[in-house]
Homo-oligomer: A and B are copies of this chain.
Amino acid sequence: MTRRPRQTVALTADLVILTIREGVLCVLVVERGNEPFAGRLALPGGFLRGEESLDETAARELAEETGLDAADLHLQQVGVYSAPDRDPRQRVVTCAYLAIAPNLPLPSAGSDARAAHWLPVDEVRRSGLAFDHDEILRDAVELARAELQFRTIATAFCADEFTIGELREVYEAVWGVELDKPNFHRKVTESAGFVEATGEKRPSPNGRPAALYRAGGAVTLSPPMMRPRS
């Protein structure tokens, strides 16, 4: 049995933090200060530390970038990206995470020196990201799109209290479709555990005030919220 030297590699957690701003799906990107790809946009991320798991790395980075506690947010693995040449300097394997955030007041610069921005996903797709982050972003958005069908994660895009109309805008922004308002309202309010009414109403400048809801206890949606066939 020939024993070859066992390779060790550097590990990072990269974050695809999504939110919705003015009805547009946006992702948090940072400007790179150092080579390689200096000046280019990239996903936030950081190296694994000795005492933590990658999930903890992701949670720590999320807190540093957004100031939010990962316990409050939806945070899940997207996948591992391990092409040998994905980082030109050295071998780095990354685990990508999808985080879903409500509309934050600002991308608080945090303790990190890099400039962070919310940019529309479509725009980022056109301009491109450093490393293999285009691929990661694509996969993460596709995951979010799929999960909206079967899980209650849409509420993670909303503040603690939200209207059914706001929840509908989440689906419309992520899926890039228009949904029928009356049918959506019924489906959501009749789906057990998806949302629960607070009893309060939010006044509106234009029309009838909308009832406020909180996220319900359910994790999965059954029956699923089917995405209209293109």
Binding site for B on A (CB under 8 A): 4, 6-11, 47-55, 77, 79-80, 82-84, 91, 93, 95, 146, 150, 222-224, 226, 229
Contact = CB atoms under 8 A, between A and B. Distances in A.
Contacts of A79: 77
B84 A51 contact: yes
A223 B8 CA distance: 44
B7 A48 contact: yes
B77 A80 contact: yes
A7 B47 contact: yes
Contact of A48 (B9, B10, B47, B54): B9
**Copies of this chain, how many?**
2
A11 B80 CA distance: 11
B53 A7 contact: no
Given A80-B95, A82-B53, A9 B7 contact: no
A53 B222 CA distance: 37
Given A53-B84, A80-B95, A10 B10 contact: no
Contacts of A93: 11, 48, 54
Contacts of A7: 10-11, 47-50
Contacts of A83: 53
B82 A48 contact: yes
Contacts of A146: 150
A10 to B, nearest CB: 5
Contacts of A50: 7, 84, 91
Nearest to A48: B7
A137 B91 CA distance: 29
A2 to B, nearest CB: 12
Nearest to A96: B80
